[in-house]
A and B are shown apart, each in its own frame.
Chain A
Amino acid sequence: MKIAVLSGKGGTGKTLVSVNLAAVADKGGYFDCDVEEPNGHLFLKPSLIGEEEVTSLKPVVDMDRCDGCKVCVTACVYKALAYIPGELMIFDEICHACGLCTYLCPQQALKETKRVIGTIRRGERGSLSVHTGKMRIGESTGVPIIKKLLKKLDDDLSIIDSPPGSGCLVLETIEHADYCLLVAEPTMFGAQNLALVHELTRVMNKPAGVLLNKVEDGLNPSELYAKEHDLKILASLPYDSYAALESSNAELLVERSEKYRTFFLELLKEVVDEATLAAQR
C-alpha cells in the first residue's frame, strides 16, 4: 500500500502529516521525495544504515580528437554544449544526460562519465525504514534521485512525502502511489493549489482524499472546493499554536500528545481503508 502525500502549495503540512503517519504506523517505509528540501529526517531522527550517491552521466570531450564540426552543439536541444575555437564547452547542470552527443560525434571525441547529482540515505526508526533523497545544490532536476529512491518501494505500507507543486517531480512521485492524500490550507491560495493537484491526480487516474489543515474559524475555501468537486474530506486539523511550536522544533506530535496520537492513528486507518476500497473498484 503506497500513500503519496501531496499539496500543490508549499508549507501546508505535507511533511508534518507524513512523518506523523509513518511514526504511528511504526512499520513499512517513509520516503522523502522532496529532494530539493528534504526535512522528514529531522522529525523521525532515524539511525543511519547506509548512504549512496546518485549519479548521472555527463559527456566529456577529448580535444585531441574534436575537430570543431559542431554536430553535437547543433543536435543538443538543451543547449548544453557550445563551441569556441579550440574549446568545446559542456554545461553539466543543463545536460539531461540523454547520450545523443556522444552517439553522434563523428570523431568519437566524446565519452560519458559519471557525476554525482545527489545522495540517498537509508535509516531506521524502530521497525520503520526511513529513505531520504537529497539533491546537490545547483542541480536542475531531482527526478533521477526520486526514481532511485522509490526503487525500494515494496508492498508494505509506504508513506511518500512529495515535493510541492504539480510539475515533473510530483508526477514522478505519484506515478507509484495507490492513493493520494492531499493536504490543504484554509486560504484561497490553498484552494487554488488544491484544485491543481486534485486535477493532477485525476489525470494520473489516482484515487484521492483531502486533509484540511490549519483550520480556523471563518471561511475555508479548500473545504468549499472539496465539497463542490466530490473530493472526500478525510479529516480536519484546527490551527494549534502548541502543534506549530512542537513541529517548528521538529518534534513528532504523536509522541508529545495523546490527542494527536489518536488523531493520526485514526487518519492512518481511514487512509488505508479508502485506498483498499479504491483498489477493489
Chain B
Amino acid sequence: MSAAPPNTIRADLQLIADMIEPGSRVLDVGCADGALLDHLVNQKGVDGRGIELSVDGVNACVSAGLSVIQGDAETDLLDYPDHAFDYVVLSQTLQAMRAPKSTLEQLLRVGRHAIVSLPNFAYWRLRWHLLVTGRMPVNTTLPYEWYETPNIHLCTIRDFVVLCRKMGVTIDRSISLDRNGVPLGFGSKLFMVNLFGEQAVFLLRT
C-alpha cells in the first residue's frame, strides 16, 4: 500500500483523486485497505480519514498510519457535523447500502462535495448477458452470484442521475469508464454513457 508507487492506484480511484483539491479535508467511506486514502494523504497533502467495515481493512489502514475507524457508514455518518469535510468519497459502495438515498443525503450533509462511484447495471454487456442467458451477470465489477452479493441496490447511470435530480443534487462532474477503466468520450450524452459505461464517477454537491 504505502510501498506502492503513487501512480499505480486503480484507474477509478485515480479519477476520484483527480477531483480532489490538494490540502483539503477528505472522508473516504468504505476505504478498504486505504489505497486511495494513502495516495491522497501522501501525494496530495490531504487531511484524510476513513471508515471501513472490515476488521482486516481497518487494521491494515491504521497500521499504515492512516486515520481510519472501524464502523458502519450507514450509522456512523450520522455522528459527523455538517460540512466537516470538503469531500466525502463513496467508492463502489452505494449499491451495497441498505438505504442508498439517505446515505447520499448524509454524504452531502457531512461533505461540501460528495464523490460517488458506482457500477452501471445498464452497461451493454450486462444487458446482453441478461437478454441472452436470462441469468444475473457475474463479471469483474460485479463478481458475485446473486445469492451472495453484497450489492443489494444496483442501479444504472440513468437511475442515479434521476435520483440526483429528484433530490436536488447538482452533478458538477460525471465521468463514465469503459471496462478497461478508460473514460468514455461521449460527454453528457446520457443514452450513450448509460449503454457503454461499465462504471461512473460523480462529483456532487447540494
Q: Does chain A bind chain B?
A: no
